[in-house]
Amino acid sequence: MRAVHFTDAGGPEVVEVQRVEIPEPQPGEVLVKVAAAGLNRADVAQRAGLYPPPPGAGDIPGLEVSGTIVSSGPGVHQGMGYDDGSEVCALLAGGGYAEYVAVPAAQTVPVPAGVSLEDAAGLPEVAATVWSNVVMEAGLQAGEWLLVHGGSGGIGSAAIQIMKAYGAHVAVTGGSEEKLDYARELGADVAINYREQDFVEEVRRATSEREVPGADVILDVVGAKYLARNLEVLSTSGRLAVIGFVGGKRAELDLGLLAKKRAKVIATTLRARPAEEKARIMQEVREHVWPMLTHKHLKVTTDRVFGLEEAREAHEYFDSGEHRGKVLLAID
């Protein structure tokens, strides 16, 4: 089969399509003929040599796909919900930029009604990241305020829509007026230009009617650079969920202020979670997020689709930061 490999650690020039063996589904796994694969920031980090795949994941990049089940490994039988011919999307530990991928059956879910097989490729990673961090870890409740840094990216654009449909108020940060308009179109209540405005001030202004102004939950992709200000803008009993480190990994934390606010700092990475946890997250996503798609409270945000042979161009485009929403590779 054709699959993408990184020939070295580096820029898009190391992205190459090679021929490799089709993987064998192991016990509990299904083999998926891939229709499309989603690009994620983690793929870029892997390409740069900064994010090695977890043990057993192999070198082929790609954390999410859509496609058709074509066979299954020992322990997966027809009638268990993972039948040959079923159209699914899947959360992976790697291997998605390829014609076929083997994945634990429990990490696949049916393509949501009303979504095309191709578009479905861009859903598993963002939906699982947003739902597991904002709801399962940080416990956001309907009526609370969520602040999302990077509101126009793949994660951010899903977070706005899912959490608005969930009943939360959503504030976002972004780097340009065009990106902020996009976030507003997706339903953001407050959109803050981080190049020109102070997000602490803006969130406090938007929540000034509350007893303790501030955000209840923050979904943060910036990390160290924002830690102090994130803590400052949290309301009482606020929860900060850090999922990205574009602004560094090391910073000083004011434990006194954390204690005074009875706040929590959480940090997770989805890729490193054991298969059982990923399966549980995908079940919750299927139960809570998929109906939002079916009822049109959430729309897919495919920005651009490249062919597998254009994987290098897709990485160049992703690196440029021009995209809004998801970038996909269509495999056929």
Residues near ligand NAP, by CB under 6 A: 40-42, 125, 129, 149-150, 152-156, 173-175, 179, 194, 221-222, 243-244, 246-247, 268-270, 321
Q: Whole-angstrom Cα distance, residue 237 to residue 247?
A: 25
- Cβ proximity to ligand NAP: between 229 and 297 the closer is 229
CB 302 within 8 A of CB 122: yes
- C-beta nearest to ligand NAP: residue: 153
**Least Cβ distance, residue 298 to ligand NAP (angstroms):** 16
Comparing CB distances to ligand NAP, the nearer of 76 and 281 is: 281
Q: State the Cα–Cα distance between residues 272 and 264, nearest whole angstrom.
A: 21
State the nearest-atom distance from the C-beta of 250 to ligand NAP, in Å.
16
Q: Which is nearer to ligand NAP, 1 or 275 (CB)?
A: 275
Q: Which is nearer to ligand NAP, 149 or 261 (CB)?
A: 149
Residue with tokens 């989603």: 38
Nearest to ligand NAP of 100, 199 (CB atom): 199
Residue 278 to residues 147, 187, 270, Cα–Cα distance (Å): 25, 28, 8
Q: Which is nearer to ligand NAP, 243 or 329 (CB)?
A: 243
CB of 281 to ligand NAP, least distance (A): 10
> Closest approach of Cβ 113 to ligand NAP, in Å?
25
Q: How far is the CB of 233 from ligand NAP (least distance, A)?
A: 13
Which residue has tokens 């976002």?
Answer: 172
Paired residues of 326 in beta bridges: 302
**CB closer to ligand NAP, 82 vs 182:** 182
Rounded to whole angstroms, how far apart are CA atoms 171 and 189?
A: 6
Which residue, chain included where needed, has tokens 């490799």?
20
What is the rounded distance in angstroms from the CA atom of residue 123 to the CA atom of residue 113? Answer: 13
Distance in angstroms (rounded) separating the CA atoms of residues 228 and 211? 22
State the Cα–Cα distance between residues 286 and 272, nearest whole angstrom: 21
Number of neighbouring beta carbons within 10 Å of residue 78: 11
What is the sign of the dihedral through the CA atoms of 232, 234, 239 and 244? negative
Closest CB 202 distance from ligand NAP, rounded Å: 13
In this structure, what token pair is assigned to residue 16? Answer: 């190459």
- Our CB check for ligand NAP shows the closer of 106 and 221 to be 221
C-alpha–C-alpha distance, residues 71 and 140, integer Å: 39
Q: How far is CA 154 from CA 25, 126, 220, 222, in A?
A: 29, 7, 13, 14
Residue 260 CB, shortest distance to ligand NAP, in Å, is 26
Nearest distance, CB of residue 184 and ligand NAP, angstroms: 13
